[in-house]
Structure 1
Amino acid sequence: MNTIKRRINQYMHFIFIAPSFLFITLLGIIPLLYAVYLSFRNYQLTMTSDMSTFNGFGNYVTVLTNGDFLQSILWTLIFTAFAVIIPTGIGLFISVLLTETSQSKFVRVLKSFLILPMMIAPVVSSTIWKILFGAVYGPINYIIDWLGGTSIAWTGEALPAKIAIIIIDSWGAIPFCMLIFLGALTTIPNELYESARIDGASDFTSFRKITLPLMRNFIALVVSIRIMDSLKVFDPVMILTQGGPGNATETMGTMIYKMAFRYMNVGEGSAAAIIFFVIIAIVSIGNIKLMRRKKV
């Protein structure tokens, strides 16, 4: 019995991680390897599996010479920059503001309301914003007209459509950033701020010299998560603009979806997905190394 118990204890950690490992393998690793396999084949949804043929790097060449796909890469990277900076900055500002105010009942209720956007499914929130951005009956254009401005074709022009998508994504991401930063601020001892006040430091100096350095790891965490989420943006684009007007708001995610399922070219869609995976990996690893370098 002692031998059996020692054996069980020896391999207990494998038993605990086995379900997660199996889940990741079935839903992550195997589909990824199958996508790599399909990316080297001329395969469409209208074909049977035995009709597909090997075509080497043909799908990759076709995708990388597709002007619309290259444009979608550029727009996705631009969108990611705004979708990281805006929610992170606003979330940090709100969290500092709520921490410095008195923790009254009103402030606690306000925190509950501020996290509501995070609780709504992206499809639902995007649909709500689509109604708000309506060109004729949308409340946003109604307010603009009431203020004496000119109505904006939010989904009919490239720049307004891009701004609208950034607003939708930021609206849902700000509560997440705020919650992380609120938790981070609770880890900073009040004695540090009291000492800074005694030395005559202003609030801005305390924020720059105390708050930001001690929150560096949390900011790096938020930035990393926001980069990965923003690169995969899909719901707001498909619901609000369908990638239009023209191809102005097409992201890598929507382009891959259309290649594989709307145009039924699974081979090219798989090649685009692998390129997408490589771009996400490069950006994420670069961000991690940059954060580590700054930490040092």
Structure 2
Amino acid sequence: MDAEELLEKYAEDERNFQKVKLNGVELKGADLSEIDLSYADLTGADLSEANLSKAKLISTSLSRASLTGANLSGVEINSTNLSLADLRDADLSGANLSSCNLSNANLDRANLTGANLSGANLTRAALSEAKITGANLYGANLTGADLTGADLSRSNLSAANFQDVNLQGAKLKAVNLNKFNLSGLNLDNVDISGADLGDTNLKKSSLQGANLERSSLQGANLIKANLRKANLKRADLTDARTYGAIIKETDLSGAIMPDGEIFNSDTSKKD
């Protein structure tokens, strides 16, 4: 099947295109809302700026496909192969991407608000400035992913793998990172305000200029962490390990220190 035949049948209200072979097909800007392309092969296809809202792409092969600026809101894409796919600026809000292979995919500036990414493979994916608020990333593999400037606020990050991830300038407001291993990561200028970082391993991590206001850091490992110019207002550092940590120009106003005492910003002493 070629693009012309698919579009003709779609215009005649046909929606079931399961298992079709459309390798390298040109469908840029096409309106394909609610289409069913489950188990189809669209390897290398051009679907940039296409309307695929509420489409079914279950177990579809979209490896190396271009979906730049495509509307994929409400789409079902679980178990789909999207490795090396170009999804820059794509609208994936509310999409079901559970167990998808998104390794090395480009999702820069993509809208993943409320998306289900549980168990997804996002190794080495580019997610710079992506909007991932309120998403489900339970058990997702983000090893080596670029999340520079991404917004993951209020997302479920339980059991996710953050090894070697770049979170510089990202927003992680009110997330649960309890007992996560974030050692050695670049977390400069990250907004982790109101987050749970209890017992989290931040050893040798760089948190320069990071916003940790009202965050819980009880029992956290901050050994040799760089907290220069970080905001730790009203943060809870009870039992945190801070040996060798760089605390210069750091705002600790009202913070609960490792010994349980409250830091007094007026006198630069603990009460």
TM-score scaled by length of structure 1? 0.19
Relative to total residues, which structure has the larger helix share, 1 or 2?
Answer: 1
- Higher RCO (Cα < 8 Å, 6 or more apart): 1
